[in-house]
Structure 1
């Protein structure tokens, strides 16, 4: 049997990656160059977009959570981008507020702007909306939600410690790509505290319109939280086997 011939056009229909762009002399074609320039501009805009913390807090409150505001030690976006370490440490005033809201809840949810506030605005509240019924079905209690400005992933370790949570979920804007400027990441860390590294976390990445849907992300996150709590392991020790049982069952969202 003759194998059907595949063209670069077939490949381009399967991926948003920049393949088979063609050329004009030794340069890209005008269309390819303009598409690249537009994608680069969208990525830059996503990084520097304003973070509507108040609007997000209102959305979380409408879902029945009790949102708290927090900020890192990055005083502005310039500091945030130039000094990643500042985004991993809480501002002293925020630390004092969070110390007053400790609870015995299993999970603390932190939503941070990260490197794409655009992604947080587009995806975060819907992921939480889809997630809450799954947590409730698993008997997992949820404490106050924290909306964090100037946040890096590790900021969740300090927040989770102050809130007394057994496990912390950080929803945060991922570094924009040239085909995905609004991608959200979800990081799950059991026993949050100083010294935790990325090896101690599980990540659900590429949550965006052309990637993992909020419903699928919520299913995976709930599975990771439940299994981390029951097994007492997280990160590289916990393999994501959430898909082994087939498609995620639908649950009614609040």
Structure 2
């Protein structure tokens, strides 16, 4: 788990708690990456410029885990929030012992990154499966789809209950995902597949839910493209709603 700007290693512990408490009896090794020495710079640009360096260090650590502890790349997931999503991407780009199975980017940071420079940001080829949850697109996060599967809760720009506050919408992606993990067997974050961003924004994606759900560990086998889903304005966020 890789935190974002002005944050620390504890920022993703909602994900940790959800994994440990979801009742599936799976076992996990949960590792928090603490790059706060760079991420807590008051100048965003200073932190942004360190993403590649930190990603390479994470990649070296993953390769070491593979060599020394028989870490399986097939069961490896890297989670990254905001700037941390791009750190995750650089980690995926730089591992040498295998291919990361899954990267999940929580509202990948947009300022100072360019959509047409895939080599300098998280992109869909950084892992076997890259999922993005884009909740403040065009402001603090990317609006363009940059994962193999890109989920756009409530249209992807602002979130209900945040009253236009960018940081609230930006961070809501983590909360949605944690709830989805915690509910795994009863996950109600059903998504609708959309042909393009315009239809997604207008919630005009055919009106039929799919078998794809945000946060479903089986998405690696079945999710691809752009997905819209509605949420409540407060927990529990997941809803069953006819679109």
| Category of TM-score, reference length = shorter chain | 0.3 to 0.5
The TM-score normalised by the length of structure 2 is 0.39
The TM-score normalised by the length of structure 1 is 0.38
Larger Rg: 1
User: Hey, which of these two has a bigger chunk of helix by percent?
Assistant: 1
